[in-house]
Each structure stands twice: as C-alpha cells, then as structure tokens.
Chain A
C-alpha cells in the first residue's frame, strides 16, 4: 500500500524554502476560509444536514483537532495511555464558567488560568500515576476523568447537574465580534491555537524533550539506562497535553455559554483517542485528518439519525481492520528500525 506520509515527506523535502512557505500560507488560507465552504457552490457538499455547518466546524471538528493534538503529545509522542483526557477539557471549561460568571475577567484573561489549572491537575494526577506502567496508567486516568465529572456533578460552585449558565462570550479582538450565532470568529481563534500547538509540537519533537519522549515510548527501561529522567519527561508530556486540553475547554465554555457535567463523559475521552489512533498515532497530520473525519462524519450522516452512531462504529471497526496503524502512520524511519531489530 502507498504510504501517504512518506510520499508527502519526500515531495516536501525536495521543495525550496519559498515554495514551502507559500504552500503553508495557501493551506492556512484555505482552511481559514472553510466556514464559507458551506455556502459556496462547488464545496457545498460539505454542508451538514440538520445541524449548522459553521457550528459543526467549531465543535466538534476544530476542538477535536485541538484536543487530538494535545492528547497526541501524551499518547502518540510519549506512549502514555490516557483514558481521561476529557478531565482537562472539563477543568478548562469550568475555570472559564466559574471565573467568567463570578469575576469581571474576560475570556482572554481567563485563558491562562484555565491552562494553569489544567496543568496543575495534570501535575497532581501525574505525580502518583506516572510511576505506573501502561494499562495501570490507563485505568487511573480513566478514574480521574470520572472523578472530575462526579465532583462537578456534586459541588455547589459548579452548579451540580445544572452546570454553569450564562458564561460570557469573549470580547472582540481587532474589531472581530464574538456572537452566539456567528461561529466564524471562534473557528479562527481555535485555528490559531491549533497552529500554535502544531508549531510547539514540531519544535519539541526535534529537541531534547521530543527525543526523551521518543525514547520513553520505545522502551522505558532503555530510556532510563540512557539517563532520561522518566518521571520528569513524562510529567512534562502530561502537563503540556493537559494545557492544550484546558485551553480548548476555556474556548468551548466561552462559545457554548453553558456547561454541564454530562458534556464531559468518558465517551469524549474515547472519541478523542479514537481520532488520533484512527488518523495515525504520533503523526500530527494523521491526527488532524483523523479528528476531522471522526468529528465530521456523525454530523454529515445525521439524516440517518437513529443509526448514525452505529454506522460510525462500523466505519471505525472496518478502517481499524484494514489499516491498524491508522490512516497516515508514523514515519517509515521507525519501520526500518523495527525491521532491523527483527
């Protein structure tokens, strides 16, 4: 089978720097124009029946891409199976909900707090949990995700099952207003965040943390022997992933203006994980592709309303059987390494 990832990489490597930057600019512009694609003739097939196309573009698609990229740092880059990623999203959303309704701070001022609290939670969870191995880490993170939801369900400050109502929308930036029925602005904000995360992940990958994560993912014992401080680098991976989730949560709360505990169930964690495994674990472009498809598909096939989750499950199952490493698997370099070992 053709490996799209390697094909793409080889084409990319043969391009000159100006060609590369103009290509990137064109792609970013095209993506930024996506909210208009639903009205534009040739691309109107993208339009989602029943739910508003522009709303779908923000949530789930853009936010799932963002969360997928964040979770990819944890699961894809450093191989730590996190089944409770939605907890960080929830913490970001509740930070926005509570601080937004109780203080006079606006969304952009709360954003750092949301990121901070998510990172703090990541640190508090990570310190005990990251000493555990693979599947035990999975169940502990899963439990953490449930605990955050249950706490939100039972505390008064979070509004219990009713959640937080009337979360303020962000103030305008550069004259662009954020209104309830205008989803374009949110899409662009999240797009900028996605680009920042991509840039961050790419920088990390080629530097010391990235190499440490790669080593940890391939073999923890060998990494420790080579002098990688396991706990520190796992914690970094965990908290950075948490920060991305928290940032997504803040924007989400600010956009929907209403949050409740049942928005942050285990299913969301699983769906985000499915996105990145489906797209190609550890590969940014695969994650983006996977998250876009899996978030978009249920909305596109909404006309078969009752069976759409069933079709979703079947598609996921078939694709996993055909391409178990995801649509765009990791680089070939690693495969060559694996062959050499065998």
Chain B
C-alpha cells in the first residue's frame, strides 16, 4: 500500500488514466457495437486490434519509408504521416472486421446457431489471426519509430501534459462523439438501432440485415484501428500477443458501462483507465487486474446491467 501517491500524483494519474481510458473506449466500441446488434460477444476484436498495431507500423515504416530509428518529423510531413497511419490502420481494421463477420458469423447466422457456436468460431478466427501474425513476425516484438517528438505542454497541478497524451484524449473525444452522432442522427445509424431493437421487424421495414451487420463490424473495426494507432504511438512497440490484455480490458469496459450501450462504454472506459492507474500506483501493478475485476463484480452486483444499462436503443420490451 502506497497511499502517498494519492497526494503527490493525483492529477498525473488521472491524466494518464484518461489517456489509457480512451484507448479502452475505442477498442470496446468494437465489442459494444456488435453486441448491440447481434447480442454476441465479438471475441476476435482483440486480435483485430493487434493487427491494427502492426498496420500502423507497416504504414509508417513500410509504406512511408521511415527508418525504425528515424528522427522525429515535424511540420506537414508529421501531420501527413500520422494521419496516413491512422487512416490506414482504421481501414485495415474496418475491413478485417467485415472479413471476421463473413468468416465467423455469416454462415452460422444463416444456420441459426446457438450463441456458444458463435463464441467458438470467433475464438477460432482470433487464433488464426494471432498465429498468422506470430509466424509472419517470427514472434519478435516490433518497435515503431518515434516520429512524433514527445514534447510537453507543461505541467499543471503536477500532471505532465505530453503531446501524445493530449492527442489521444482529444482524438478519442472527437471519434467517440462522431460515432455517437452517426448512430443517433443518420439514416444508417437509425438502421443499426432498429436492428438492435428487433431483427425481424427491421427486416420487415426493409432494412438489409446483412449490410447493417457488416456495417457494425466495419465501424467497430474502425474505432479499434484508431485505438491501435494511438496505442502504437504512445507505447512505440507491439507484439503478436498484445491484443489479449487490451482486449480483456476493453471487454471489461464494455460490460462495466452496460454492454451494447455506447455512452456506457465511454464512461466505463474512462473509469477503468483511471482505476487501473490508481490501482497500480497504490497496490503495485501486479494487482491491477485483480482490483479491476473486483470492482467489476461489485458494480455488477449493485447494477446487474452495468452502470448505464444495456443496448444502443433507449427502450426495450
């Protein structure tokens, strides 16, 4: 127990927690969107994230020809590189999401399989993704070049506002609220909400079910890809097994806020990120996940549907 950090590093921990939390939020949208529509856990999402981290490195090193030990870029070149890597990672993950749906879900949905069948086929897909990456990268960790010079905006109340932390938080807010607007305001978003209310009735209303499901996986992939980009930018290294822990945390995030509920995932992720930072500072980082799961159980006991309740739609019969 080290309670002193509460005084000395309170705001610093909060800031780091928020940055981590936004990465969780973005990954957890990949779980929550799919769950909202299909009522199924998208277990392959953690590996989609893993592929995204490699896609980021490929975009920076392979396509834009930056050396792994390159000097930080600046000006237009920097913005161009980061934007390109972000979009590349998002698109790769988005299309991978569609592919996962085609391979692991579509035929099983047509056959009317039970939820556990989907779970296993999703896990099988994630094994395939994981093993392919492992073989292709020879199980070696891959460092990403430090293209973004990590200067600090300065310290406020003991918290170090570094450029990458601030970038993750601002972009996280932007991406999340864009998605939120998309789901609540647009026609396609309406279709997603309709399917999550009732598959059968939305079919009767002329909604192309398969297209909506593909779209959901695509959007989930997009946000997961964004998270992968931010993760790689902040931590500058990735490995084939990076998906497991982050996927687990993101899944916990989704459940904490009420799985299927976008805004729930938002608050759940921030809460979880901050909680993890405090737990590792106070109890030591080895007890981090124990604390997280204990809190999760307590929350679920008090609010069995997560803090903000379930589902994309507002009401449920």
Contact = CB atoms under 8 A, between A and B. Distances in A.
Given A274-B123, A324-B108, A324-B114, A313 B128 contact: yes
Nearest to A319: B124
B157 interface: no
Contacts of B301: 128, 131
A266 interface: yes
Contact of A136 (B113, B115, B300): B300
B135 A139 contact: no
Contacts of B116: 75, 81, 273, 277, 281
Contact of A321 (B107, B251, B290, B305): B107
Nearest to A134: B115
Given A313-B124, A313-B127, A324-B117, A138 B244 contact: no
A129 interface: yes
A230 interface: no
Contacts of B244: 266
B111 A324 contact: yes
Interface string B292-308: 11101100110011100
Interface string B262-280: 0000000000000000000
Interface stretch (A101-109, A199-207, A304-312): A304-312
A131 B304 CA distance: 8
Interface string A117-137: 000000000001101111110
Contact of B135 (A133, A310, A324): A310
A128 B251 CA distance: 20
A131 B297 CA distance: 11
Contacts of A153: 286
Contacts of B45: none
Given A143-B252, A313-B128, A128 B297 contact: yes
Of the candidates B103, B121, B294, the one having the most CB atoms from chain A within 10 angstroms of its own CB is B121
Nearest to A276: B116
Among A75, A143, A266, A314, chain B packs the most CB atoms within 10 A around the CB of A143
Interface residues of B, number: 46
Interface residues of A, number: 43
B259 A135 contact: yes
Taking chain B's interface residues, is the majority helix, strand, or loop, or is none over half, making it mixed? Answer: helix
Contacts of A324: 107-108, 111-114, 117, 121
A320 B289 CA distance: 32
Interface of B: 35, 41, 103-104, 107-108, 111-117, 119-121, 123-128, 130-132, 135, 244, 248, 251-252, 255, 259, 286-287, 289-290, 292-294, 296-297, 300-301, 304-306
Q: Which 7 A-B pairs have the closest CB atoms?
A: A324-B113, A313-B127, A143-B293, A316-B124, A310-B131, A317-B124, A320-B121
A177 B137 CA distance: 46
Nearest to A84: B293
Contact of A313 (B131, B290, B304): B131
Contact of B304 (A132, A150, A309): A132
A150 B130 CA distance: 23
Contacts of A312: 127
Given A136-B305, A273-B119, 11 more contacts: A128-B297, A129-B297, A139-B252, A140-B293, A147-B293, A277-B117, A278-B120, A307-B135, A313-B127, A314-B128, A325-B114
A136 B304 contact: yes
A136 B108 contact: no
B135 A306 contact: yes
A260 to B, nearest CB: 16
A317 B103 contact: yes
A312 B131 CA distance: 10
A132 B300 contact: yes
Nearest to A306: B135
A154 interface: yes
A278 B127 CA distance: 15
| Main SS class of interface, A | helix
B124 A144 contact: no
19 contacts: A132-B300, A135-B35, A136-B300, A143-B292, A143-B297, A144-B293, A147-B290, A151-B290, A274-B120, A274-B123, A281-B116, A307-B131, A313-B124, A313-B128, A314-B128, A316-B120, A316-B124, A316-B127, A325-B117
B120 A277 contact: yes
A101 B305 CA distance: 44
A135 B43 CA distance: 12
A147 B125 contact: no
Given A131-B301, A135-B255, A310 B286 contact: no
Contact of A325 (B35, B113, B123, B289): B113
A128 to B, nearest CB: 5
Contacts of B132: 310
B119 A143 contact: no
A270 interface: yes
A154 B135 CA distance: 32
A317 B121 contact: yes
A138 B252 CA distance: 11
Nearest to A81: B116
Given A143-B252, A307-B135, A310-B135, A320 B108 contact: yes
Nearest to A271: B123
A142 interface: yes
Nearest to A137: B300
B123 A147 contact: no
